[in-house]
């Protein structure tokens, strides 16, 4: 299986990305695997404790483990988003007909360079609580997305 390579260009700008993690298929295993991959392929600045939460939307599935990570990357936004989808695939993610259904791993960008880009931060405590923990641990704050 071929994986995306994270290559640093000398002098390239680095971006900070706040990631929301969620898993409910073998969650303890996939949580550790995701952390292992992201720690080895990105610069991990801070991480939250995992919290167990009830599913939202589709209810006939196990509880989730949710957490947040703050990482630094030389990739631009679109490339990093594609990289996170690749990590999900490497962890066995199958995208089924139920969007809120069970998954081995869900990695969503909540904030990019300190700017909130995912409204889930405001809508779901399973996103907000771990993100706020990471912000406190890393002495960071977030600003709302500027609209054009």
- 118 given a catalytic annotation: no
Q: Which among 78, 81, 86, 108 is annotated as catalytic?
A: 108
- 93 given a catalytic annotation: yes
Q: Which among 78, 95, 106, 118 is annotated as catalytic?
A: 106
- 106 given a catalytic annotation: yes
Cα–Cα distance list, 82 to 41, 89, 119, 142, 148 (Å): 14, 11, 20, 23, 24
- 81 given a catalytic annotation: no
Q: Which among 86, 103, 128, 140 is annotated as catalytic?
A: 103
- Nearest 5°: the CA angle 137, 131, 72 is 70
Residues labelled as active-site residues: 93, 103, 106, 108
């Amino acid at each position: 299986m071929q994986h995306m390579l994270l290559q640093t260009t000398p002098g390239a700008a680095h971006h900070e990305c706040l990631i929301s993690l969620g898993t409910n298929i073998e969650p303890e295993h996939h949580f550790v695997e995701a952390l292992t991959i992201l720690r080895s392929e990105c610069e991990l600045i801070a991480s939250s404790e995992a919290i167990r939460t009830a599913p939202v939307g589709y209810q006939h599935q196990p509880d989730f483990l949710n957490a947040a990570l703050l990482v630094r990357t030389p990739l631009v936004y679109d490339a990093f988003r594609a990289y996170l989808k690749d990590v999900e695939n490497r962890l066995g993610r199958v995208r089924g007909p139920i969007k809120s259904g069970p998954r081995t791993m869900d990695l969503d960008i909540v904030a990019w360079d300190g700017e909130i880009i995912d409204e889930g931060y405001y809508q779901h405590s399973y996103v907000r609580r771990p993100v706020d923990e990471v912000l406190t641990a890393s002495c960071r704050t977030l600003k709302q997305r500027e609209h054009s």
